Each structure stands twice: as C-alpha cells, then as structure tokens.
Amino acid sequence: MIWVSASGAAAWKLTGRPQAPFSEPLSKVASTALEEHRLMTADGIELGAWLSRGAGNRPVLLLLHGNGASRSSFAKLIPFLEREGWGVLAISMRAHGDSQGGTNDFGYSAREDVKAAVAYLEQERPGRPIVLVGESLGAAAALFAAKDCAGRVKGYLLAAPYDGLDTAVWNRCDRYLFPPLTEGAYAGLLLWSPAFLPLSLTKIRPAEHLQDIPQTVPVTFFATDDDRYARIEEVRSMREAIASHAKLVSVRGGGHGRFLSVHEAEYHQAIQDLVAQVERTP
C-alpha cells in the first residue's frame, strides 16, 4: 500500500503544472521588436506568446521550450535570432509559464499548441518559411504535431528529444535511484500512468512520428554526449530513422537542456546552418 500510494502521488506530481502561472513581461528580453500575444488552441487552451516579425521574407522561427520552462527561457536566444533578421514566435506551452492548462503530458497534448502557433504564423506572417526549434518537451510536441504540419513547417531543430516516455521515465528513475528502487519506482509510475495521462506512458512515443516529417524537410538533432535523460544513443537512433534528411550535432558535456548556457556558439551555429539550408530549398 505504501508503494502504490507513493507511486500515485509521484505520478500526480509529475503530470501537474511544474509551478503556478506567473507573469512573463516583455521586459525579460532585450528587444524593442517583440509584441505580446495570446493564442487559442483548438481544444480551448489560451497560450502566452511573444512575436517578433522579422525582416523581409526571411524565415520565422517557432521556439518551443523544455519541461518546466517557458518562453522566458529563450530570453537570451531571441535577440540573436532578431539580429539575423529572422522572425520569432516563442510560446509558453500548456501548463507552463503564463499559459492555461493544469496537466502536463510531456508534449502529447501540446501538439495542439504547436498547431495553433503554426496557424497563427501563417495568418500573421503569410508566405514566410517556418522553422521549428524545440527543446526536450518542445521537441516531443513538435513531433506529435508533425503530421498536421507537413508541408507547412520547412525545417526542424530538435534538441534533446526523448524517443518514448517509457524510456524517459526509466532514465530518470535510473538517474536518481538504485536497484531495486529503480525498478520499483518505474513499475509504480507505469501502473498509475493511465490515471493521469491520455495514454499509457508506453504509448507516448515521439520517435514513432519522425516519418511524418516529409523527406524534403531538413531536420537537425542537437544532443550532448552526457545527457542522462535523453541519451545520445537514443537521439542517434532517431536521427538514423530519417537519415536521408537529418543530421546530428553532438557536443561534449553540459547534461540535459543547458544548450544556451554551456554550448551557445554551437547551438547558434546549428540554427544558422539549418535556416540557411531552408532558405536554399526552393
């Protein structure tokens, strides 16, 4: 009973909002071009967003943050993207930042957030190529939405994506516990997952949606070689599944989700290379 109760409490905690809604003012970003917007998803969730329109017909980058973060985590990245002349739309996905929503299912339902953001860009910046930059949770949401965005998103940068939620949960249990507690914690979360998620955690698998990205669309995977949550061998396997139009940028050290603080130059270069490839594509 202790194991069952503790597992249920952990599952409830992990699938709720990481923190209460908080303000995300434009003053967080050193930009004079940003506009504050609110988007509405097809399933009725209101999202906070920042839009920078960019120059001419240059691409627009849609930024999707990682788990427990928000669009504010891109405060350092946005000025760099603006200097390149690109447009930017940064959203706080459901159950994060100042957006609505109380359940975090690790990108599965947030596919609606991605679809809403893409539709918004098509309305606000028609004819501009859309390049999607997703980190961890954001990368998963991008893949879940890939089928609906086929022909509409022209490039993907997927940083530290998880291949399946079961693997991601196991990696975290393995990171913080030791046998037999590792196996016990994993089994408990697996047991409770149908009560808190729309699908069993074994069925929430972003990697199964890689083939929804058209072969004409370039994909860059970005990963660190010591990531204990989205392990390099898992990201490498995802890249190999769509090897004809994907590449992997692997960097040394830094762990999970610290791309801008540890590998800023490499991250910037990966984005520049991807956007250049998109702009060369007819």
**pLDDT tens, the chain, 282 aa long:** 888 898 899 999 999 999 999 999 999 999 999 999 999 999 999 999 999 999 889 999 999 999 999 999 999 999 999 999 999 999 999 999 999 999 999 999 999 999 999 999 999 999 999 999 999 999 999 999 999 999 999 999 999 999 999 999 999 999 888 888 899 999 999 999 999 999 888 899 999 999 999 999 999 999 999 999 999 999 999 999 999 999 999 999 999 988 888 999 999 999 999 999 999 987
61: which strand partners? Answer: 88, 131
pLDDT of residue 117: 98
Token digits of residue 211 = 């083939």
All domains of the chain in start order, with CATH: 28-163+200-280 (3.40.50.1820)
Instruction: Return d(Cα 241, Cα 245) in angstroms, integer.
Output: 10
The position carrying tokens 């991250």 is: 267
pLDDT for the residue 38: 98
The pTM of the full predicted model, rounded to 2 decimals, is: 0.96
pLDDT of residue 120: 98
Task: Name the token pair of 54.
Answer: 């960019």
Q: What is the pLDDT of residue 77?
A: 97
Structure-token pair, residue 92? 């706080």
- Other C-beta atoms closer than 10 Å to the C-beta of 113 total 29
- Give the integer Cα–Cα distance in Å for 59 and 62: 10
Parallel, antiparallel or unpaired: strands 87-91 and 46-52:
antiparallel
